Chain A
Amino acid sequence: MNAYLKRLIWPLAVLVTLIVVNIAQTGFDFIVPSVHDGRLGGAFVNILRNSVPLLLIALGMTLVIATKGIDLSVGAVYAIGAAIACQWIIDRDQSAFGTILTAVILALLVAAVIGAWNGAMVAYFGVQPIVATLILMIAGRGIAQLITGGQIPSVSDSTPFVELGRGAIATIPVPIVIGVLVFAVLALLTRTTALGMLLEAVGGNPAASRLAGIRSKGITILAYLVCGFCAGLAGLIGAANLGSADANNGGLWIELDAILAVVIGGTALIGGRFFLLGTVIGVAIIETLNVTIINVGLSSQWQFTAKAIVVFVVAVLQSPEFRAWLLKPFRRPDGGEPAPEPADDKEALAK
């Protein structure tokens, strides 16, 4: 647990820095939540609310990455989930609760099936994850467009469906409730059952896991299935928030942000150990950053550059070699011999 917290320190430091910058720019209103119309608001709460789709996808992605995999199709699944729900709703009685429920269930079901399909490609056919999921990354948006007939279906503002994105439960915005729930369920599922350990074993050493008798195929499929489900759910929330489903641009490039969040959170892309809480912090950093860029008054051209700089800073701060190198001038050289170079090939071994 100790080592675990240590891993989170640097991402947390970056997050805090970003928040402090924002507070310096816009005052304490940034962080202090306010209550409007019986629901929580304020800049930071809004960031959290808007970050939920990314969070859900990144959480699912964490599990997939733990199995040594990667899922590029999440953006497309997001679009499909959104398209199914909106199309289903606009074709029916928009205010009926039953319609909404079937729409949601249908969308989630399809998303989960797509995830399972990705997992089966990886586990049973031995296709490399990046290729297996690339297929649906390409075709998925086509499927979403097919569902919407190339249109952008907009649901009416009065349908209960939009509550999924805009509503509040006991003053807490619904997306945040969903995000917390999913996080809690996944954390419980992986840490109180043996699922987490088995995932890490499968990702850490597939051959050894097989010989130990682990159902690695089932576990792999489950990870992709959860990831697909989360992507579909993210699509629902995104669509509910906008009130429409854009098959072309909904969740565009979200897979890169999700992977980024996972990696910032300390989970290595080579599989094995994973950190759900780290992913949460990673997501918070990315979303806060996007807002910070606007708050600081940078032009939109600067967005990418600023993001690059923050990603770079987080990455090197997490590197013990970099910290050793930074501190080198402050250390006494030992015994007249050349001081050990901080960044040498050694760490490759330690890994």
Chain B
Amino acid sequence: MSDAPIVQMTGITKDFTGVRALDGVDFTLRRGEIHAVMGENGAGKSTLIKVLTGVHDPDAGRILLDGEPVRFHSPGQAQAGGISTVYQEVNLTDNLSVAENLLAGREPRLGPFINFRAMRRKAKALLDEIGIDLNVAAPLSSYSIAMQQLVAIARAIDIDAKVLILDEPTSSLDRDEVAVLMRVMRSLAERGTAMVFISHFLDQVYEICDRMTVLRNGTLIGEWAVSELPESELIGHMLGREVQTLGALEHRAARHRPDDDVLVSARGLGRKGSVSPFDLDIRPGEVVGLAGLLGSGRTETARLIAGADRADSGALEFRGERLRGHNPRTASARGIGFCPENRKTEGLVGDLTVAENMILAMQAARGWARTVPPARRDALVAEFIEKLDIRPADPDLPVKNLSGGNQQKVLLARWMLIEPRLLILDEPTRGIDVGAKADIQRLVNELSEDGMAVLFISAELEEVTRLSDRIAVLRDRELIDILHQESDMTTDRIVETIVEKGGDK
């Protein structure tokens, strides 16, 4: 590993209307190293990447690539200059096929014409390399967001670049895929590729990175070798306060004592091609976790219960009453709230403000004529901005201008506002920083203590085991077991269940 910097950014400042996202930040990336950029939600990590790769123009500062001053004006130019990037949130075009997404702009050609056969072959090989097997001719939209994330990574890796930037590439991946990604990253590092890695998973950062740069509120806190900075100090630097509370959830909170009467009960509920019929009971005051690998049908299960998709078999009962014509509106009227996994496309209305997005479900339930009184609305919004620590704490900002983690909190607030009986959370902690994640976990705990039922989905098994009273395990779009013994609440037990029961067939 040589010490010559390949990327050097100095004094980078970037203002958005009303917000200074970066304030005189320096950043140095050396050849062959894997460099973590750390910071809370909204610290400016993604903005730093976007300034480097020409998405945003910096308001001040210099960028040197290989010692030469550069200023890219579009990601295309950055790619040509040798910087390949996976941006936060999946940025692919899901109307095109997987193969086209992998190779768009670099399709194999015969003369001026694209050679589709060669393209599919190349795409297949590319995916094989990182260990995924998809139908490359299928439209990207038919795959889950996690798969799309892997495709985005495969695409970036294939652009044989000097610098590879990965902005939260692992946010929706399972441990197996993460392991694959780590392996690929190591082999790239050996070949001398410099990498920037952004993640809120500290263990991943400690496992793979050599150095880290910490940002807070758009300012540079410092740069350390990973080995020199213990985790607790890192968190201290990131959050700017001492951490006492984080450990609190390390052990599962005391089990809740759910009532005996069932709140929601699914009997043979299923949808062809999406999830096989399953039975599941959810009681007030309990947290039910959904665990399973990618594509095991976690999201689909949640969507059926939430009424987002229509079931074509079985029945859903709510407090003993059989639900007919279950849809998001009737669900919300009964107090079933659903935070979908893809907050950009299904969760938030980007143009509306933070306050409007928060109030949306409540207002929808009241109908258009009965406005939430402005005073009440402002009070509620202010309360939840504070409770969830949404930053910037400006209710009138368009929600699309918030950082990813803060957007997630806005979505959570939308449903907490209506005080639902059942809250369905599909990957609520995806892309959320350590502090906020602990906040959300604590919140889930509190809510269920207050008698709310929670259906909790997370790719992070630790999180599921830590929070859940019972865990429904899925495999191949089938609910294979429900773990409820205290002693079963371990990741190993879940993995065992998946392997064992899967072997039955």
Contacts and interface: CB of A to CB of B under 8 A. Distances in A.
A170 B432 CA distance: 63
Contact of B74 (A210, A212, A345): A345
B371 A200 contact: no
By CB atoms of chain B within 10 A, which of A194, A272, A273, A345 has the most? A194
Interface in A320-334: 334
22 contacts: A192-B371, A194-B366, A197-B352, A197-B356, A197-B359, A198-B363, A198-B364, A200-B356, A204-B349, A204-B351, A204-B352, A207-B346, A208-B345, A209-B360, A211-B338, A211-B347, A213-B329, A214-B364, A337-B62, A340-B71, A344-B73, A346-B74
Interface stretch (B52-60, B118-126, B261-269): B52-60
Given A212-B414, A213-B331, A193 B368 contact: yes
Contact of B57 (A207, A210, A340): A340
Nearest to B361: A212
B371 A212 contact: no
A212 B364 contact: yes
Contact of A208 (B56, B71, B348, B365): B348
A300 B348 CA distance: 49
Contacts of A337: 62, 69, 71
B332 interface: yes
Nearest to B60: A334
Contacts of A273: 351
B328 interface: yes
B308 interface: yes
A110 to B, nearest CB: 25
Interface string B233-254: 0000000000000000000000
Interface residues of A, number: 32
Contacts of B73: 340-341, 344-345
A215 B55 CA distance: 37
B361 A208 contact: no
Contact of A219 (B332, B351, B368): B368
Contact of B347 (A208, A334, A341, A344): A208
Interface of A: 192-195, 197-198, 200-201, 204-205, 207-215, 219, 272-273, 334-335, 337-338, 340-341, 344-346, 349
Interface string B209-253: 000000000000000000000000000000000000000000000
Contacts of A198: 363-364, 368
B372 interface: yes
Chain B interface size, as a band, is 35 or more
Given A214-B364, A335-B62, 11 more contacts: A194-B372, A195-B368, A197-B352, A200-B352, A209-B364, A211-B346, A211-B347, A213-B331, A213-B364, A334-B60, A344-B57
Nearest to B56: A346
B429 to A, nearest CB: 19
A219 B338 CA distance: 22
A345 B361 CA distance: 34
Nearest to B331: A213
B1 interface: no
Nearest to B372: A194
A83 B137 CA distance: 55
- Please give me the 9 A-B residue pairs with the lowest Cβ-Cβ distance, nearest first: A213-B332, A204-B349, A340-B57, A214-B364, A272-B351, A213-B364, A213-B329, A195-B368, A205-B349
A280 to B, nearest CB: 22
Contacts of B356: 197, 200-201
Given A205-B350, A208-B346, A211-B340, A346 B308 contact: no
Nearest to A349: B55
Nearest to B355: A197
Contact of B308 (A209, A211, A334, A341): A211
Nearest to A340: B57
Given A197-B363, A198-B363, A213 B328 contact: yes
Contacts of A219: 368
A201 B328 contact: no
Nearest to B58: A340
Given A213-B328, A215-B364, A208 B349 contact: yes
Interface in B452-505: none
Given A205-B348, A208-B348, A214-B329, A194 B57 contact: no
